[in-house]
Every structure is written in C-alpha cells, then in structure tokens.
Structure 1
C-alpha cells in the first residue's frame, strides 16, 4: 500500500532542511572564492583571481595536489590490502585469541589521535621514511585500519560460506577463493573503506604537519602556509579557493560511489 503524500511530507521537509544545512557552507565557500574581498587576489568584481593566486603559490598547485594524491594513494592501498586480509582471517578462520586480538584492534580507536604521532615519528625515522610521502601515507593507514578491519570482517561474514566452499571444491586454495570469489562479493565493503581512507588522508592536516614540510607538503598544509600575508592579514579568498579545490575530488568520488558506499554499510545488516 502506498504511503499517503501527507505522511511523506515531514520526511521531505526534514531531509530538505538537512541538505540545506550541509550544503550551505560549501555554497558559501564557493561563492566567496570568486567574490571581491579586501586583502585577497580578487579585490574588484567577481573572478578567478584567488584561484590564480592559489595556482602560483610556492611550488604550484599541481605539485601540492600530487603530494596529496600520493599520500592518499598509499593510505588507500595499504588500508585495502591489510584490512581485506585481516577481515578475511577474522571472519573465516578460527585460532586461539581471535576475539581478544579483534578487540585489541578495535581498541586503537579509543586511543587519542595526537598521542601516537610522536612514537610514529620516531618509528618512521628508524625506517628512513621521515619527511616522505610514503611515511605519511603509512601513518594515515594505521589510523584507518581498525575501522576498516571491522568493516571487512562483517562484509565477509555476510557472504554465504557455500560460495567459498564451492570454490574450494573446484580446486582453489584459501587465497584463490578470496581472489576469485570473495573479493567480488565484498566489493561494496572495499569501496566503503577505500573511500573512508581517501577522505581521511586527502583532508588530513595534523599528520603532515608533524611528519613533512617544504616540498613534501600536501595541499592542506600548503593552504595554511599561504593564508598569512603582510602584517598578519589573512588571505581568506585564496583559502576559500583552496577549500573548493580540496572538496571537488571528495564530492565527485562520493557521487560516483555512493551506491556502493551505502551497500557497504548495509553488508552485514541482513546476516541471519
């Protein structure tokens, strides 16, 4: 039976209000990035002066975008590989201390973010990865692994064991069944944790602030360095332009992958 329109109206009003609340800052920032503003590169009329100033800052916008993309790429790849193997092991294998180890993995989420940065800095120096994009990506992946492992465990548990058993009977080993059958079944979960890892690494400021600088700075760190002008005046125009540039890839990825993103969260909801 179809729900009457008057009963659906409150839901439409609520979702519309929430959309306005979340979209308004993005729209305000986008308009502000092309609006005239004293102390910015766009002081007369609407235009792209702030974007030109952003592109010419320091080593250039493409350089900082490449740094951010490299850091995000390392974080996404490491998170996907480790979380997939870890989630598969927790979901399909039985071994002593399995539940205790899983709880210890999740307990990392309760550790304050900043308390791990100094030990990780010392660890990266010992590995020769200090002030490198790979080192930053590895650190950001470490912070994503507890949630990603949890997501992949429930994703694998939602897959019927009969699918894996059929692959084993056909001659596949455990890794063969994982590669040929299970990875396709848990694709929404993979996309979800990959998107989470990308968004966290792409927008992170604290870890790069501690671990890299100079030519290795990603775009969020470069924005902070460029926002200070003469006599302490803040260049809000270029900062807003940088925020827009940072936001566009995130919005595009979410729009492209939103169906898989929702399915990833629902992957374990119907497990009987």
Structure 2
C-alpha cells in the first residue's frame, strides 16, 4: 500500500520544488551583494528617494482591507440570495455574474477610470478598491453561493422555527457554517489586491497614493538606465512575505473551502 503512494510523493515533491524554486531564488538574490551577503538591498529599497516608504505600505494595506471587506460583504449577501432563495431570473443573473470572468479586466479599465471620474473617485484608494472588488465578485459569489448551498436545509429551518429572521439565520447559523468559504474568498481578495499592479497603474496618478507594487517598479531603474535587480528582488520578497504568512495560517480553512462541498452544485 505504501509502495503505491511513492509516485504521488515523487510527483508532489517535484511540483513543490518547481513552485518553490522562484521564491527561494528571489530570497537568495535579495540578500546577495557584491561583497557577499547582507541586507543592503533592503536598505536601498526602503531608503531610496523613489523607493518604498511607509505611506506606500499603508496604501496597500488600506486597499487590501477595503477590497477584502467589500468582497466579503457583497459576496456573502449575493451568495446567500443565490444559494437559498428562489426568485425570477435567478439562474440567468447568476450566469451573467459568472460571464464577467470571460471579459479581460484590462479592456474595461479605461471605462472604469472615466466612471470613477464621474463619481468623484478618480485617483483615490477607495475608487481603486471598488474596482478590485468588482473584479473579485464573479469567483467570490460563485464560491459563497455553493458554500451556502452545501449547508443542510434543516439547520436553516430549525433556526426559523425558533423565530430567527432571514438575516438572523444568516448571521447566527449560516456564516459559522460557511467559514471555510469566507476564508477562501478573503484570502483570494487579499492576494489579488495586495499584489495588483495594472489597475493601480491606470487608476492612480499621485505618487503619495501609490501602492507598494507601484513603488517597487518605480525604483527599478538605477544609474545609467540599468535595472537594479537586487532591489527588485528585495521588493518581491517583501511583498511575498504577508501572502505566505496568511496562507500558512489559513491553509486548513482554505483547503476545506474547496473540499467540503464548496464546489458542489
């Protein structure tokens, strides 16, 4: 029996090495200097005039928090409605929501930039967060709809017999039951908003509004137009650390969100 698992272990190990190699190489390159190893690249990343500052990091934190919060709020109510209520046009509306995935978001960024101008949200972290929430909704609503649909109907019926309203049932019964789905949605929203580059590049104009990704790219050019690869690698590692830590802390709920019925229906 154990011998039959050898190919799986070998395949898993090979895939792990394949995916980990770029991260290990980036970490190695970020501490390599002309004289050996040290933190000079990180010092240059944060101390350079056009480098990464605390403001840039805070901007990324604000955008990520707003995106995660907005995505969870809309996806939870949307997924609950699609998964538990029957109303005219429900399936058509759900399919239209999923159809957004077929539209490359880069093709509508200019239109969204104009729309944000009409709303007075151009060059703002709030406007950027709203756009990122929009991009996250198709997958998030799909995930939450199937998470709610996987919860036994008897739990909801028992709560209503005890006098709970639909909102009370959602808060007290359903949300704890779909926690893995919520974690999965939140993690995806954070990873996307924290590392997003193209949307901030188009929607943000002021340097004091730049996120960390834009700040890292802005300092990529060193003297005589050469690329400062060492500082870039330091920036890559700095941005990857929060993602790796969150994934390590939430991996059980994340995996459960995909395996405990979240993709059924």
- With normalisation by structure 1, the TM-score equals 0.94
CA 101–180 in structure 1, closer or farther in 2 if over 3 Å, else same: same
Task: Confirm or deny: 8 A CA contact 2:51 2:219 kept in the other structure.
Answer: no
Residues in 2 aligned to 1:60 and 1:243: alpha-carbon distance in whole angstroms: 12
Residues in 1 aligned to 2:9 and 2:198: alpha-carbon distance in whole angstroms: 38
Mapping of residues 142-153 of structure 1, within 5 Å: 142-153=134-145
Quote the residue 2:160 is aligned against: 168
Quote the residue 1:158 is aligned against: 150
Match of 2:261, SS state, is: coil
2:45 is aligned with 1:54: yes
Match of 1:128, SS state, is: coil
2:200 is aligned with 1:208: yes
RMSD: 1.4
Q: In the alignment, which of 155, 159, 174 is matched to residue 182 of structure 1?
A: 174
1:270 Cα deviation after fit: 8.9
- With normalisation by structure 2, the TM-score equals 0.96
Aligned residues: 263
- 1:37-75 Cα distance to aligned partner (Å, 9 max, x none): xxxxxx322110010111113374322111111111111
CA 269–126 in structure 1, closer or farther in 2 if over 3 Å, else same: closer
CA 270–63 in structure 1, closer or farther in 2 if over 3 Å, else same: closer
Mapping of residues 1-272 of structure 1, within 5 Å: 3=1, 5-36=2-33, 43-57=34-48, 58=50, 60-213=52-205, 214-268=207-261
- 1:187-238 Cα distance to aligned partner (Å, 9 max, x none): 0000000000000101110000001131111111111100012221000011
Task: Confirm or deny: 8 A CA contact 1:154 1:267 kept in the other structure.
Answer: no
- 1:147-174 Cα distance to aligned partner (Å, 9 max, x none): 0000000000000111111111111100
Residues in 1 aligned to 2:172 and 2:71: alpha-carbon distance in whole angstroms: 20
Task: Confirm or deny: 8 A CA contact 2:44 2:51 kept in the other structure.
Answer: no
* Structure 2, unpaired ranges of 5+: none
- 1:113-140 Cα distance to aligned partner (Å, 9 max, x none): 2111011111111111111111111101
Task: Confirm or deny: 8 A CA contact 1:88 1:156 kept in the other structure.
Answer: yes
Residues in 2 aligned to 1:270 and 1:161: alpha-carbon distance in whole angstroms: 17
Residues in 1 aligned to 2:105 and 2:95: alpha-carbon distance in whole angstroms: 18
Residues in 2 aligned to 1:61 and 1:192: alpha-carbon distance in whole angstroms: 30
Task: Confirm or deny: 8 A CA contact 1:189 1:267 kept in the other structure.
Answer: no
* Structure 1, unpaired ranges of 5+: 37-42
